[in-house]
Amino acid sequence: MPEFSLPLRFRRLETADATAFRDLRLAGIRENPEYFGAPAAEEEAAGLPLFASRIVGTQEGDAVYGAFRGDVLVGVAGLFRPASGTMRHRGTLWGVYVIPEERGGETAERLIRTVIDHARQYVDVLTGHVTTTNARARRFYERLGFGFSGIEYKNLKVNGRHFDQDILVMDFTGNAP
Ligand SMILES: CC(C)(COP(=O)(O)OP(=O)(O)OC[C@H]1O[C@@H](n2cnc3c(N)ncnc32)[C@H](O)[C@@H]1OP(=O)(O)O)[C@@H](O)C(=O)NCCC(=O)NCCS
């Protein structure tokens, strides 16, 4: 349980944060596996090297940001850029998760605005996916100024059930989808 009298801080994760990052992401996937692009069992089996490598990334601008209440990681969100020269202008917002106790306040909005400010330095377009059943997240992204450019049909299959995902878009060149 977070201690709300402690300050809220936002910073880029470092490899030393890999354990906290793993624990938070696994908690998020277990809570709602249909909101995330990988099952908890796969991520758990891959272990800490997977989480450390995501923090480091492979492309300039790849990053994972964390929201910290005091020293405790309470939210995460990442930016991923494709390696291809024809796709590198398009970054993906991924792995967005804020613990239930921190929802409904400033934490998630400030975290994602931090990632947006980071992303606009590297990409023309920020994109992402939100599962169509996730009405709360969809409303949250709308409020932050994301548009929606279509549906990824049956993008996830969780426990034998298919889930469509809305495609989120924020265009830093000034054009809206
Ligand atoms: C998505 C997430 C980061 C958003 O953070 P949050 O603190 O919950 O978001 P906020 O409370 O600021 O905004 C939620 C909005 O949805 C609304 N909302 C809440 N429950 C809702 C529901 N069941 N249906 C529709 N809208 C809902 C809220 O009223 C608010 O809208 P408003 O600002 O117009 O009042 C957080 O809920 C989370 O981590 N969820 C679990 C993981 C997840 O869904 N990740 C996203 C994967 S794409």
9-27 per-position pLDDT tens digit: 999 999 999 999 999 999 9
Neighbours of 22 (CB within 10 A): 19
| Confidence check: pLDDT of 1 > 90 | no
> To test the ligand 1 pocket, which listed residue (35, 112, 140) has its Cβ within 8 A of the most ligand atoms?
140
Instruction: Write down the pLDDT at residue 176.
Output: 72
Q: Measured from the CA of 36, which atom of ligand 1 is nearest?
A: 47
Could you tell which of 69, 73, 136 is best to mutate to test the pocket of ligand 1, judged by most ligand atoms within 8 Å of the CB? Answer: 136
pLDDT tens digit string along 76-110? Answer: 999 999 999 999 999 999 999 999 999 999 999 99
Q: Tell me which residue has its CA closest to atom 48 in ligand 1.
A: 130
Residue with the smallest CA separation from ligand 1 atom 1 is 137
Please report which confidence band the pLDDT of residue 4 belongs to, taking 50, 70 and 90 as the band edges. confident
Reference 65, options 96, 29, 99; nearest CA is 96
Q: Residue 137 C-alpha to ligand 1 middle, in angstroms?
A: 4
pTM of the predicted protein model = 0.96
Enumerate the domain spans of the chain: 8-171
User: Which CATH superfamily groups domain 8-171?
Assistant: Gcn5-related N-acetyltransferase (GNAT) (3.40.630.30)
Distance CA 85, CA 101 (A): 41
